[in-house]
Chain A
Amino acid sequence: MAGERTRERGELEGTVMRILWEASEPLSARDIQAVFTGHVPAYTTLMTALERLQKKGDVVRSGDSPRKVRFRAARSGDEHVGRSMMTALDGAGDRQAALLQFAGNLAEEDLDLLRGAITGKTSRKRR
């Protein structure tokens, strides 16, 4: 749970979506990374976020070879926000104070902490 390099998962995904909505053409992960100001996410963290957005159907991936892989938003920003309440919530980073959502509030480091606690306890039980 410690660390300065933290960024809530919903916040990162929201920022990525905003970058893709504003782009006129599909972007590579490196292009997206270059747009970030201030805290720049690690490449692997960014790829994880893009894969998750792809699974949700929010991002479309194109290109076969790793160097040519590009990402674009599946829908425009307006369509996206209108599509579901969840997406509308993801679009703003500071609404957690207002709405206590059942899902989507945990950062990558928290997931690692949970994984560690679960596997640690499971392995102790097996011994």
Chain B
Amino acid sequence: MIATGSFLAAAVLILLFSPLMLTAGRWQVRRPRTALTLWFCAFFAGIGFAVTSAAIALLGAVGGVNPASSGEALVLTLVGWLSLGVLAAVIALVSASAEPLADSWREAVGRFAPVAVSREHSHGVTLVWFDSEEPVACAVPSGEPEIFLSTALKELLSDPQLRAVIEHERAHLRQHHGWAVRIAEINALCLPKRFPAGRALKRATLLLIELIADDAAARRAGAVHLANALATMGHNTADPGLELRADRLTLRRWKKPRSQRAAALARA
């Protein structure tokens, strides 16, 4: 019974205190990858502790553990069946919330497909161009990953800037950020709103994956090109987040992008 209580207490402590610890200070802006890793370590550790606690309680309820007294046997039985009930409720909630998300995905992709004007394959990803007056780029994670780009984006940005935007979206697909967002979405739907951990994980995920993808794109296509693309799009769309992301890139020293380093080596 002590083991059940300990694992449950550890899960509750993670649920309550991990958002406070992981959002303290501004270090996550400089180290987004570390921050996202810690968030998901805390998430999976919390799930692990809760499941272990429930498993031990269930084991006690079905006779796998010898209770010291009849009182302890009664408590173990009650906690065991209660844990099973909670587990069933969580599974039902996850199934119920995952389906609307899947529908939402199908609907969103369905809205894009009819307006595609051209498709081209590039390094394992299909670039789908669609006609729009607004500069839009987004990655669609699926069995055949696609990056949707609007014609307005092509007109607005230079070729190196456009490549930086594509590298940003490619980083989302390569690093499976779609799964991170889905897990965070389902977690936010399952946890009661009084616990900030649900929304905090979702918000942190949405911010950190953008910063991680920015860093990956800056390394591959050049920080200057990505910062200029962000600033241009920020100016065009009145989105202050884009200009802030551009400013963030200018605060750090970047090596030359891989393509330029390879070209320099070839010349040497």
| Residues of A in contact with B (beta carbons under 8 Å apart) | 1-4, 6, 8-9, 52, 55-56, 83-89, 92, 94-107, 109-111, 113-118, 120-122
Contact = CB atoms under 8 A, between A and B. Distances in A.
Contacts of A101: 136-138
A21 to B, nearest CB: 18
Contact of A106 (B20, B104, B233, B241): B241
A119 B138 CA distance: 29
Q: Which 6 A-B pairs have the closest CB atoms?
A: A98-B105, A117-B29, A102-B137, A2-B23, A55-B238, A117-B26
A117 B248 contact: yes
Interface string B125-136: 000001011101
Given A85-B111, A97-B101, A98-B178, A113 B241 contact: no
A113 B207 contact: yes
A98 B29 contact: no
Interface of B: 19-20, 23, 26, 28-30, 100-101, 104-105, 107-109, 111-112, 115, 130, 132-134, 136-141, 148, 150, 165, 168-169, 172-173, 177-178, 181-182, 185, 193-194, 196, 199-200, 203-204, 206-207, 209-210, 213, 233-234, 237-242, 244-245, 247-248, 251
A113 B248 CA distance: 11
Contacts of B196: 2-4
B104 A86 contact: no
Nearest to A38: B193
20 contacts: A85-B132, A85-B136, A94-B104, A94-B185, A96-B181, A97-B182, A98-B101, A98-B105, A98-B109, A99-B108, A100-B139, A100-B209, A102-B168, A103-B241, A107-B207, A111-B241, A111-B244, A114-B244, A115-B244, A116-B26
B221 to A, nearest CB: 13
Contacts of B100: 94
Contacts of B105: 95, 97-99
Contacts of B233: 102-103
A83 B193 CA distance: 35
A89 B28 CA distance: 28
Contacts of A3: 196, 200
A95 B108 contact: yes
Given A6-B199, A94-B185, A85 B115 contact: yes
Contacts of A94: 100-101, 104, 185
A118 B251 contact: yes
Nearest to A96: B181
Given A95-B108, A102-B136, A1 B204 contact: yes
B104 A104 contact: no
A39 B115 CA distance: 36
Nearest to A52: B238
Contacts of B242: 103
B181 to A, nearest CB: 5
A96 B185 contact: yes
A55 B238 CA distance: 7
